[in-house]
Amino acid sequence: MGPAALLDYDRSHLRGLVLEEGGPTSHIAIVARALGIPAVGEIVNATALIQSGDAVIVDGQAGEVQIRPQPDVENAYKDKARLRARKQEQYRKLKSQPAVTRDGVPIVLQINAGLLVDMPNLEATAAAGIGLFRTELQFMVAEHMPTTSEQQALYTAVLDHAQGRPVTFRTLDIGGDKVLPYMERVEEENPALGWRAIRIGLDKPRLLRAQIRALLRAGSGRDMKIMLPMIATVDEFQRARTIVRREQAMLAKQGHVPPLSLQLGVMVEVPSLLFELPEIVREADFLSIGTNDLMQFLFAADRENKRVADRFDPLGAGALRALRSIVEAASEANCPVTVCGEMGGKPLETMALIGLGYRAFSMSAASVGPVKAMLRALDVARLTERVDWMLASGDGAASLRPQLAAFATECKVPV
Ligand code: PEP
Ligand code: MG
């Protein structure tokens, strides 16, 4: 099942999702999380094991599914659900509290979105803005290729809803597992490494140009942020920027009111860019780290393949050093950087990223409460020292997760 198929269901009846495939960073999982639907993937043979009419408990947090549960199991889950509801209540109370650490370091918390239905989450979470708007979702749920005016209408509505809060629109990230039903499918041996995202945009500039036009028109008289996915080289960024500049010039010639400001950023999710950091932080107006793809490519482990998706821990010294190199290069060049992959929405992982120097995150709406609770209890100075020490005294362990969790327990940081 793909993310578009999920959106076809009547959400008022959908209480949980059990999938035979799909790891936690697969796109269907991301969409389910955005919609607040508990989901568990990788349940082998689920469709054969579950009969129509069966009672099923779906515990998305623990990744567990109970089919035809016994009364004692059901009661245990009821207790768990009550506990969770109490936690949710605590998170709701945190809504009015600032996202500032215990030692006074402000952290920017934004949410990820992709459809108009996500927009009320801005109010509900009191997030600072939308750090990643996945524009491909409109394309994935449509029956035909959205026209430029349909795209413009969505972007305008999103900006209207955001009421001045920043929105970072990501240009189309199609291809790979994000298939458009009405577009001719190109069979590829390795779709994740294939013709997708900015590669399509650069090779078929009509599509990218139309989208840029829609974005610039929607942003007329407002501050606009656009970012480009799957950029593998600085040259690709420059070529895409030329397309954007051309569209800006064209609209100006036609007398359109341009955006008040336009920032063009880049998703850092292809490891080759880590070796062009000095150039990319100079060229781009901002960076946004797509940890889902960055980790899949860094470890050569398919994020959609359950056999390998969780094989390597992003909290290992190798991945953390890679992430540190990005934030260091960005800080040196005064280039703003946000983490928008799933890693930035998990309290322990977000804590580690703060320890590396990251100060801005964009996550699913449901993650804002737990992440805020974590950071408000955090002493950044102490954490930074500890993370530096952990990375300096590496012993080749596969993961620093146990040490980071021990730090959290020691400092009473809820993760
Ligand atoms: C990512 O790769 O981390 C990301 C945010 O983009 P997507 O999950 O849409 O590929
Ligand atoms: Mg990505």
Question: Residue 394 C-alpha to ligand 2 middle, in angstroms?
Answer: 29
Q: For residue 177, what pLDDT is reported?
A: 72
- The answer, yes or no, to whether residue 11 has pLDDT greater than 80, is no
Higher-confidence position of 258 and 191: 258
Model pLDDT for residues 118-145, shown as the tens digit of each residue: 899 999 999 999 999 999 989 988 889 9
Model pLDDT for residues 392-402, shown as the tens digit of each residue: 998 889 899 99
Nearest ligand, CA 178:
1
Question: Residue 91 C-alpha to ligand 1 middle, in angstroms?
Answer: 26
Identify the residue whose C-alpha is closest to ligand 1 atom 4: 290
Strand runs (DSSP E) across 35-80, as ranges? 39-40, 56-59, 64-67
- Cα separation, 167 vs 128, in Å, equals 9
- The answer, yes or no, to whether residue 34 has pLDDT greater than 80, is no
Query: Which candidate, 28, 65, 25, 63, places its Cα nearest to that of 45?
Result: 65
Query: Which candidate, 342, 7, 303, 321, places its Cα nearest to that of 141?
Result: 7
Catalytic center residues = 27, 340
Q: For residue 197, what pLDDT is reported?
A: 94
Helix 365-376 vs helix 71-94: angle between axes, to the nearest 10 degrees?
70
- Cα-atom radius of gyration of the chain, to the nearest Å? 21
Q: For residue 201, what pLDDT is reported?
A: 95
Q: For residue 388, what pLDDT is reported?
A: 97
Closest-lying ligand 1 atom to the alpha carbon of residue 291: 3
Q: For residue 172, what pLDDT is reported?
A: 96
Burial tier of 100 (Cβ tally within 10 Å: 0-12, 13-18, 19+): middle
Model pLDDT for residues 145-180, shown as the tens digit of each residue: 999 999 999 999 999 999 999 999 999 999 877 778
- Residues touching ligand 1 (Cβ under 6 Å) are 30, 132, 134, 173, 269, 290-293, 340-341
Q: For residue 36, what pLDDT is reported?
A: 77
Question: Residue 265 C-alpha to ligand 2 middle, in angstroms?
Answer: 14
**Amino acid at site 410:** E
Model pLDDT for residues 74-91, shown as the tens digit of each residue: 888 888 888 888 888 888
**Amino acid at site 388:** D
CA 63 from centroid of its chain's CA atoms: 19
Q: For residue 27, what pLDDT is reported?
A: 73
Residue 183's contacts (CB-CB under 8 Å, 6 or more residues apart) are 145, 174
Identify the residue whose C-alpha is closest to ligand 1 atom 6: 290
Range 12-36 average pLDDT? 79
Instruction: Report the residue among 139, 267, 296 best suited for mutation to probe ligand 1: largest number of ligand atoms under 8 A from its CB.
Output: 267
The lowest-confidence range among 136-140, 278-282, 379-383, 387-391 is 136-140
Identify the residue whose C-alpha is closest to ligand 1 atom 1: 290
Q: For residue 384, what pLDDT is reported?
A: 98
Closest-lying ligand 1 atom to the alpha carbon of residue 173: 9
- The answer, yes or no, to whether residue 351 has pLDDT greater than 80, is yes
pLDDT-derived band at 390 (thresholds 50, 70, 90) equals: very high
Query: Which candidate, 225, 171, 221, places its Cα nearest to that of 201?
Result: 171
- The answer, yes or no, to whether residue 101 has pLDDT greater than 90, is yes
Q: What is the mean pLDDT of the chain?
A: 93
Model pLDDT for residues 180-225, shown as the tens digit of each residue: 878 887 889 898 999 999 999 999 999 999 999 999 999 999 999 9
pTM, two decimal places: 0.90
- The answer, yes or no, to whether residue 30 has pLDDT greater than 80, is no
Domains in the chain: ranges and CATH: 3-69 (3.50.30.10), 87-410 (3.20.20.60)
Q: For residue 395, what pLDDT is reported?
A: 86
- Cα separation, 4 vs 54, in Å, equals 26
Query: Which candidate, 33, 31, 58, places its Cα nearest to that of 46?
Result: 58
The pLDDT > 70 percentage for the chain reads 98
Question: Residue 178 C-alpha to ligand 1 middle, in angstroms?
Answer: 11
The lowest-confidence range among 52-66, 150-164, 328-342, 351-365 is 52-66
